């Protein structure tokens, strides 16, 4: 069942858990997430970046996700991850995405508010939810590169003003996580999450959550995080399983045989995350 991002995150907020938002690029990844969410009865967000849409084509992404939402009996949202381009965001809305992210975080507060507000007005007029970002999350995600020096934490008072002025449905905050693979162990500012949660009425989103220790993620959920983005850990499971299989079976050319273990490993990874986030068994009818 396809629902809006707002519906999924409000349920999470009322019941004190976080929803896994998993990045999708192809059929096997979508099937892996579907299997995990279906088995664990977990509401889930399938999200595509602008890069994923460019790779697979928006018709394939929306077609695969809509089919999944019909086949698997859990609430699902189709979300655009890190929309930076007005036309791209409009294309997603027109093609049936139920949620979009406008990432104008590279701009100053005032300009971020202006750009976000514009997307909120259009998206809300057709019942699509909006996530925005305040503060700068470090690391690399597709074409967005933020160095460690550029990364800045979200200010709670600015977050309060931002949400009030823009009317967004959820807010991605910078609290120490980064996109991509971590070199050391990430330091997540749990107190800052609590402070922001106290003054911001909408659900909070944690990006760059792959590789973050599970006890830290559990603390983040307790502090008020309601959407947790996972991309890198799925990629690692996919690539690891393919490499192992090809090394053990160098003569194999059947894509089905090569990709089947990768799909199974990705499903295991997603299941593990869902349990940590506390969203297992939370699907509603």
As given in the structure block, the two tokens for residue 117 are 């507000």
In the complex, what is the shortest distance from the CB of residue 260 to Zn ion, in angstroms, rounded to a whole number?
29
Query: Is-contact 216 177, C-beta < 8 A?
Result: no
Residue 210 annotated as part of some ligand binding site: yes
Catalytic residue among 13, 81, 189, 280: 81
In the complex, what is the shortest distance from the CB of residue 151 to Zn ion, in angstroms, rounded to a whole number?
12
Helices and strands (H, E) in the chain, number of each type: 11, 11
In the complex, what is the shortest distance from the CB of residue 135 to Zn ion, in angstroms, rounded to a whole number?
12
Contact between 207 and Zn ion per CB under 5 A: yes
Residue placing its CB nearer to Zn ion in the complex, 28 or 141: 141
Residue 105 annotated as part of some ligand binding site: no
Residue 13 annotated as part of some ligand binding site: no
Contact between 227 and Zn ion per CB under 5 A: no
Residue placing its CB nearer to Zn ion in the complex, 11 or 227: 227
Site for Zn ion in 68-127 (CB under 5 A): none
Residue 89 annotated as part of some ligand binding site: no
Q: Does the annotation count 85 as an active-site position? A: no
The region of 90-98, 120-128, 133-141, 242-250 touching Zn ion under the rule CB under 5 A is 133-141
Site string (138-157) toward Zn ion, x via CB under 5 A: ---x----------------
Q: Is the C-alpha dihedral spanning 15, 202, 39, 66 positive or negative?
A: positive
Q: Closest residue (Cβ) to Zn ion?
A: 207
Q: How far apart are alpha carbons 235 and 226 in whole angstroms?
A: 23
DSSP string covering 216-242, please? HHHHHHHHTEEEEEE-HHHHHHHHHHH
Burial group, residue 52, by CB count within 10 angstroms (0-12, 13-18, 19+): buried
Contact between 273 and Zn ion per CB under 5 A: no
Query: Is-contact 175 193, C-beta < 8 A?
Result: yes
**Residue 193: strand pairing partners:** none
As given in the structure block, the two tokens for residue 118 are 């514009």
Query: Is-contact 45 8, C-beta < 8 A?
Result: yes
Give the residue ranges of the annotated binding site for Zn(2+): 82, 103, 133, 179, 207
Q: Which residues are catalytic?
A: 81
Give the residue ranges of the annotated binding site: 82, 103, 133, 179-180, 207-210, 229-232
Site residues for Zn ion per CB under 5 A: 141, 207
Give the residue ranges of the annotated binding site for dihydroxyacetone phosphate: 180, 208-210, 229-232
């Amino acid at each position: 069942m396809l629902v809006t991002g707002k519906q999924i995150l409000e349920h999470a907020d009322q019941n004190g858990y976080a929803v896994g938002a998993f990045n999708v690029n192809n059929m096997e990844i979508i099937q892996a997430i579907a299997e995990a969410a279906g088995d664990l009865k977990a509401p889930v967000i399938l999200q595509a970046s602008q890069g994923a849409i460019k790779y697979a084509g928006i018709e394939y992404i929306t077609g695969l996700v809509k089919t999944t939402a019909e086949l698997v009996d859990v609430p699902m949202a189709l979300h655009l991850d890190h929309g930076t381009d007005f036309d791209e965001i409009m294309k997603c809305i027109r093609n049936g995405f139920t949620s979009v992210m406008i990432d104008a975080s590279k701009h100053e507060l005032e300009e971020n508010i202006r750009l976000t507000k514009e997307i909120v007005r259009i998206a809300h007029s057709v019942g699509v939810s909006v996530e925005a970002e305040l503060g700068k999350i470090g690391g690399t995600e597709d074409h967005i590169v933020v160095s460690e020096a550029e990364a800045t934490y979200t200010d709670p008072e600015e977050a309060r003003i931002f949400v009030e002025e823009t009317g967004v449905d959820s807010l991605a905050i910078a609290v120490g996580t980064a996109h991509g693979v971590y070199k050391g162990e990430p330091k997540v500012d749990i107190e800052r999450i609590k402070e922001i949660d106290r003054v911001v009425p909408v659900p909070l989103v944690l990006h760059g959550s792959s590789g973050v220790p599970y006890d830290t993620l559990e603390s983040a959920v307790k502090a008020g995080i309601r959407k947790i983005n996972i991309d890198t850990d799925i990629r690692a499971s996919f690539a690891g399983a393919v490499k192992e299989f090809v090394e053990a079976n160098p003569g194999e050319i059947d894509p089905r045989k090569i990709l089947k273990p990768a799909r199974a490993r990705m499903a295991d990874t997603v299941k593990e995350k869902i349990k940590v986030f506390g969203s297992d068994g939370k699907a509603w009818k």
